[in-house]
Structures are given as C-alpha cells and as structure tokens.
Homo-oligomer: A and B are copies of this chain.
Amino acid sequence: MSPTPARITAVDTYDIRFPTSRGLDGSDAMNPDPDYSAAYVVLRTDAEDGPEGHGFAFTIGRGNEVQVAAIHALRHHVVGRSVEELCADPGTLYRDLTGDSQLRWLGPEKGVLHMAIGAVVNAVWDLAAKRAGRPLWRLLAEAEPEWLVRQIDFRHLTDALTPDEALTLLRRGREGAGRRTARLLETGYPAYTTSPGWLGYDDDKLARLARQAVADGFRQIKLKVGADLADDVRRCRVARAAVGPDIRLALDANQRWDVAEAISWTRALAGFDPYWIEEPTSPDDILGHAAIRRAVAPVKVATGEHAQNRIVFKQLLQAGALDIVQLDAARVGGVNENLAILLLAAKFRVPVCPHAGGVGLCELVQHLAMFDYVAVSGSTEDRVIEYVDHLHEHFLDPVVVRAGHYTAPTAPGFSAALRPEALAHYAFPGGTYWSAGPDGRKGQSA
C-alpha cells in the first residue's frame, strides 16, 4: 500500500452518438431509426500509471444528454473514494448509489437514473478487473462465493432467493470450474446473430445475410417481427428457406403487441418453427408474459433487455412467465445486480441468453455469460449470447466471434473502453463528425 492511497479524482462523462440511422441497421417494430449512442463515463484516479475505469449506458439517440446528466448527478458518491476500497468491494458503492434517498425518488431502481448507476458501477468493475490484471469474467469466476454474495442487494428478493441459497448455488458452481474455464478458452461461448433480421432490410438482403450467418457457423439467427403480419409470414418463409430446418429461428417483436395479439400473431408464425418469441408485449407486463407463454408453447418466451431491475426478473421467474432470461449488461444497476439476476435464473433453472448489440453491449455481456457458464449454471446448453456486427471497431478490446462463438477475452478489464479517436469523432454535438454539418458528413459512415 502506498503512503497516500489512490483516490477517484474525476467522473468524466461523454455524449457519444453513432449515426446508425443512415443504414437502417437496428431497425425494428418499435425503433425505426436508432442512432446508437453511449452515455459514457471514465473514472479517473491519482494512482501513478494506474488504469481508469470505463463504463456506459446505451441509448438510441435523442435523450442521450439526459442519460449523461444522470451519470453526472452521481459523481458526489464517487469522487474522493479510495480506489483500493472501491475495487475491493464495489457493492458498497452500488448500495450507496441505489440507496441515495433523494435520487431514488427518480426511480426507484428503474429508467434513466438506474441506467446511470449501472454505467458507474460497471466502470468500477472495469477498474477493479484491470487492477487485478484479469478479464472481468475470470475475476468473477475466481472470486470467493461469500464475497460474491456480499456484492448482491437482496432487498425485495428474499421471497425468491435468500443469501444462503445464493451461497449454495455459487459453491456448487465451483465444482468443475477449472475444466470449464479451459474449455471456454479453447472453444468460446455460443453466439447467435441478429444481423440478418432487421425490419428495414429487404428479402434479398435477409436471405443473403441468413445464409452467410449459417456459413459463418451460427446455429441460431433472429428476425424482427411485429409491424405487419403478411410481411412477417413472408420474411419467416424467406429466412427458414435460407437456413434450412436445423437452424434455430428466433423472433423479436420489441414490445409491439397486446396479450391477445401476441398470442394470435405468434401462432400465425408457428409453422416456421420459431425457437422463441422475444419481447412479445410490454416489458413491464409480468402477468401478460405468463399468459402468452401458456398460450404459445412450445414456442418459448424470451424477455429481459428492458426489464428494469432484479425485482421484475424475480417476478417473471416466480410467475413462470419466461423460458429465456435475456439480461442486459447496461440496463440494470451494473454487475452487482446482474449477479442477482444470474442467480435467480439458476435458482429457477431458466437459461440466460443475454441481450447484446447496440454500442458495446456485446463487449460487456460476454463477461457475464462466461462467468455464468464457468461458475453458476455450468452449462452452455440452450444458451447463446446475441451478436450484432456493429460498431465493434470503435472499442479498444472488441469482441472476437469465430465459428459462431465468442472468444473468451483475455485482456484485463470489462472490455468497455472506446477508442480515444471514437470519443473525439462521435462526441455530440461537438465531435468532428457532428460538428462538420450535413455536408461535411456526406460519404462518412459509422
């Protein structure tokens, strides 16, 4: 320990927007023209040659400045804290942030404020993993079960998962962890791809990308649905013809339907043997998802990318409302809350297939899925991480997907850092891309 312990000296924020709406990448039934964006945060320290912590909330354009303002509103909890104490126990900061008695009125634990907490908490985990010289998934997989349990806030969870049950799950997860780590480093973690299926793509592009996905080694692809039933029938036919009968075809309605409509629409597409229907209705509608699941089986129900916190996941599991837990790395309160969600899923024996895409969500969530495999669920059966081939080039430690598998990251940290040139180019509105004006931007792409 140095005589003057290192402190967090600044919480710097950036409004980063990529002009993805120009290519209809990311278009779905509720989000026709997203500009994938990050409310980005860097924790700076006074440690000599010490690393920084990077994190972000993902948004799709307008309102990213509100998300940045929310991160900024948390800085008084972070600046001045001991780096060593923070990294030894991120759970203390996580509780301080979610427990801020004035800020929690703006949630509690949901929406803009909660995503801001997730960005800051994830930045701390990035810092902790870098200081430990480990990729985050290994730091988590090698941590003591007792310590991991202390990272979780069990408030409002204990009717479904107690600290003792969590400890039992984590102790059981240690059995064979070394063997699974070796296997993971060798073969990676299965992925599926959403790249062929955006609503804005025409049938030829859909068919071409779907065939390419199979050639690239993916065993599952995903199509956006929900805008027009006749279009969906046609697109499902095109996709199924392109990939053949053995590839899993997932469908994603992005919250478009009411309960009855979700049931009838899904049944109308059942002939194409869809594997799951994702976000069939409002992410807040636990009872609605349960009703849909009962009605559309054997098609599975998947949801979670917009589930606001662990309490919603708890209820989705208690109500038997879903077959697939699609946690998101940047929607809830960071790694700590996702530990709770992974353990809830394990308790209820529901597989986790994380949501990804956007800006950097693949980079983050691979660590959580790999930790889940090595130290919680112990299995990759029926488990896949979403993969979207967008914007990875802007990251310092981008995901590597080979033969339909995420390669396990080996660099220390949470893979969260954008390249400095991306921060300079896509800062909104002052970065070189946006300040060039419409003419200056012509011919450039994200």
Interface residues, chain A, CB within 8 Å of chain B? 30-35, 59-63, 65-67, 69-70, 73, 100-115, 154-159, 255, 258-260, 281-288, 291, 306, 308-309, 311-312, 314-315, 318-319
Contact = CB atoms under 8 A, between A and B. Distances in A.
A63 B105 contact: yes
A113 B110 contact: no
B107 A111 contact: yes
Contact of A159 (B62, B258, B319): B258
A286 B287 contact: yes
Contacts of A108: 255, 282-283, 306
Contact of A65 (B59, B69, B105, B306): B69
A100 B61 CA distance: 11
Contact of A102 (B34, B100, B306): B34
B311 A59 contact: no
26 contacts: A30-B104, A31-B102, A34-B102, A35-B102, A60-B101, A60-B102, A60-B105, A62-B102, A63-B73, A65-B69, A66-B70, A66-B73, A66-B112, A67-B106, A106-B115, A107-B111, A111-B111, A111-B113, A111-B308, A156-B258, A156-B281, A157-B258, A158-B260, A284-B308, A284-B315, A287-B319
A309 B312 CA distance: 14
A286 to B, nearest CB: 6
B66 A101 contact: no
B110 A284 contact: yes
Nearest to A68: B69
Contacts of A70: 63, 66, 112
Contacts of A312: 284
Nearest to A71: B66
7 tightest CB-CB pairs across the interface, nearest first? A111-B111, A112-B112, A61-B102, A62-B102, A159-B259, A156-B282, A284-B311
B308 A102 contact: no
B59 A105 contact: yes
B113 A66 contact: yes
Contacts of A318: 287
Contact of A158 (B109, B258, B311): B258
Nearest to A57: B106
A69 B15 CA distance: 14
A41 to B, nearest CB: 15
A284 B258 contact: no
Contact of A287 (B104, B155, B315): B315
B106 A112 contact: yes
B110 A308 contact: yes
Which among A100, A156, A312 has the highest number of chain B CB atoms within 10 Å? Answer: A156
B159 A30 contact: no
A364 to B, nearest CB: 17
A96 to B, nearest CB: 13
B103 A62 contact: yes
Nearest to A154: B258
A70 B59 CA distance: 14
Contacts of A311: 282, 284-285
Given A62-B103, A106-B111, A284-B315, 9 more contacts: A31-B102, A59-B105, A62-B100, A63-B102, A63-B103, A65-B73, A108-B255, A109-B284, A285-B311
